[in-house]
C-alpha cells in the first residue's frame, strides 16, 4: 500500500508538530519552508527576543525542554535550539525542503454540498471527514506532484 503524500507549508512550531504526527501515521510528509532555517517566526525574530509564555506552557507534550533550560522565559537561541532538537529527534528535519516558497495551491475534491453533509469533521483519523475524495494536482511549473 502506497503511503499518502502530504504537504505542510512552513517549518514553524505547528508545521514541525504536524509533520511529526503525519510520520507517526505512516504518511510521507514534505514541509516546504521558504526560509533557509526552521522555526517560523522564531527564525526571523531579533536575537534579543525571549519567549513571552512561561516555558512549561510552551513545549510539545511529548518533548520537554532540556534540564539545562531553567529560565521561565527562554531566549531566542534556546527556543531555536529546542525546535531544532525536536525536528531531529522525530525525523522531521529530513522532510523539510528549505528555500521552497509556496506561491499558490489548488484544491480539487468534493463540492461544498458534500462537505456540508458530513457528520464528522475530525477525530476519525481520516482527512476531510473520511470522504477521501480529494486528489493531488501536479503543479505545471515544478511538476512535484504536491498541491
For residue range 21-67, list pLDDT tens digits in order. Answer: 999 999 999 999 999 999 999 988 999 999 999 999 999 999 999 99
User: Do 118 and 143 have their domain in common?
Assistant: yes
User: Do 98 and 113 have their domain in common?
Assistant: no
C-beta contacts of 95-99 below 8 A and 24+ residues apart: 95/19, 95/23, 95/29, 95/30, 95/31, 96/11, 96/19, 96/31, 96/33, 96/38, 97/30, 97/31, 97/32, 97/33, 98/11, 98/33, 98/35, 98/36, 98/37, 98/38, 99/33, 99/34, 99/35, 99/36
* pLDDT exceeds 70 at position 116: no
User: Do 70 and 31 have their domain in common?
Assistant: yes
This prediction has a pTM of 0.74
Domain ranges, residue 84: 5-103
Q: Which of 103, 119, 138 is the last residue in one of the domains? A: 103
Reported confidence tier of residue 141, pLDDT bands at 50, 70, 90: very low
H or E, element range at 13? helix 13-24
What total of structural domains would you count in the chain? 2
User: Do 77 and 143 have their domain in common?
Assistant: no
Amino acid at each position: 500500500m502506497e503511503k499518502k503524500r502530504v504537504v505542510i507549508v512552513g517549518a514553524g512550531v505547528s508545521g514541525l508538530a504536524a509533520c511529526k504526527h503525519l510520520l507517526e501515521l505512516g504518511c510521507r510528509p514534505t514541509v516546504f519552508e521558504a526560509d533557509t532555517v526552521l522555526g517560523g517566526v522564531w527564525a526571523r525574530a531579533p536575537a534579543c527576543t525571549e519567549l513571552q509564555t512561561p516555558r512549561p506552557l510552551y513545549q510539545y507534550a511529548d518533548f520537554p525542554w532540556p534540564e539545562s533550560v531553567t529560565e521561565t522565559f527562554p531566549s531566542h537561541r534556546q527556543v531555536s535550539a529546542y525546535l531544532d532538537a525536536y525536528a531531529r529527534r522525530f525525523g522531521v528535519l529530513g522532510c523539510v525542503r528549505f528555500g521552497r516558497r509556496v506561491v499558490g495551491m489548488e484544491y480539487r475534491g468534493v463540492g461544498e454540498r458534500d462537505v456540508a453533509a458530513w457528520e464528522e469533521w475530525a477525530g476519525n483519523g481520516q482527512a476531510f471527514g473520511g470522504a477521501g475524495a480529494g486528489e493531488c494536482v501536479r503543479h505545471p511549473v515544478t511538476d512535484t506532484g504536491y498541491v
